Amino acid sequence: MKKAIYEQIVETIKYEVWDFDQVLEILIEKFPEEKPETLRSIVNLEYQKGVKKIARDWNNSQTADQRRRELFNKFTLALNSKDYKEGVIVEFAKNSRFSPAQFAKIILEEKFKELEGEETVSKELNIKITKLIKNSALIDDQKLATEVWLATIKDNNYGPFTEQIKQAIGQDYENKAKRSLERLGLSYQDEYELRSKGYDKTPDIKLDIPFAYNGYVINWIESKALFGDKESHDNYLKTQLWSYWNRYGAGMVIYWFGFIDDLDNNRDNGIIVCDDFPKDIEVCNPLKNFSSEDEADLFREESS
């Protein structure tokens, strides 16, 4: 994706009402040439950035305790109002451009601190609240249970349901890369196999025999079921990709939902960026230079 198009998409997200589904519909209509899954991933990334920025204020500022208490009091008033409508936490989050699931967690923390006469959230209380977030049916107050449930299912980035969905999507796309290798008859080791052998920094896929793509050798593949923006890619380079390069040589990261074109600028340094499994690859056959099957068998024995 051209950087200018990406910047237009981000600007649209910033100035629209903070409702994930509504913003996505607007983007699909405004940018029909882009894939819906690409636009969805960009919205997700911008949502995460916004939530992290606001979360720092909620958790670290001198007025954090006061703000958390005000939120709980406001929620309690809305819950007891004669005009009460389900989805109070969701509306609070929409108006604040914040996470419904994280607002739900704050409200539960304040409620149980009040019930138990505590000033802070103990380790035991935090475990209890985590369980209630995962299963709101355990909450005795029916209205509160419904509000927490709605907050978790309407949150596209945080909360137990979203995490499960993310993991499933990530695994599905990693499997897609593995199936592509298997169709080509290429053997590999995944991160679980590598970790069982004592490796600490492991890509999703380490090829047993490298292949070549556009003149570049690929030793490993990292699968990312998201859009590659500059902030995310720079972070992955720092925390993952250069470590893989240092241990295993040149490799490839696949952003399945697209990426900003300018990010693919390290090919000559050993890291290629793609948005799909490459089609035009050259597979190395280490046996093709042997003049007889006996020599090939000997090579196999020495390599095993």
Read off the pLDDT of residues 41-89 as tens digits, 9 standing for 90 and up: 999 999 999 898 888 877 766 678 888 899 999 999 999 999 999 999 9
Which two structure tokens, joined as six digits, stand for 35?
């894939």
Q: Convert the pLDDT of each residue in 182-217 to its tens digit.
A: 999 999 999 999 999 888 889 999 999 999 999 999
One-letter amino acid at 26 equals I
Judgement on whether residues 36 and 100 belong to the same structural domain of the protein: yes
- Radius of gyration of the chain from Cα atoms? 25
Judgement on whether residues 113 and 241 belong to the same structural domain of the protein: no
Residue 237 DSSP label: I
Residue 290 has pLDDT above 70, yes or no: no
What is the number of structural domains in the chain? 2
Which residue in the block uniquely carries the two structure tokens 């490459």?
278
Judgement on whether residues 27 and 147 belong to the same structural domain of the protein: yes
Q: Which residues pair with 220 in a beta bridge?
A: 206
Residue 150 has pLDDT above 60, yes or no: yes
Asked if residue 304 belongs to a domain, the reply is no
Q: How high is the mean pLDDT of the chain?
A: 89
Q: Which domain holds residue 202?
A: 163-283
CA dist., res. 163 & res. 172, Å (int): 14
CA dist., res. 275 & res. 37, Å (int): 12
Judgement on whether residues 76 and 125 belong to the same structural domain of the protein: yes
Judgement on whether residues 14 and 128 belong to the same structural domain of the protein: yes
Mean pLDDT computed over 282-297: 56
Domain end point (choices 101, 118, 153): 153
Asked if residue 296 belongs to a domain, the reply is no
One-letter amino acid at 38 equals T
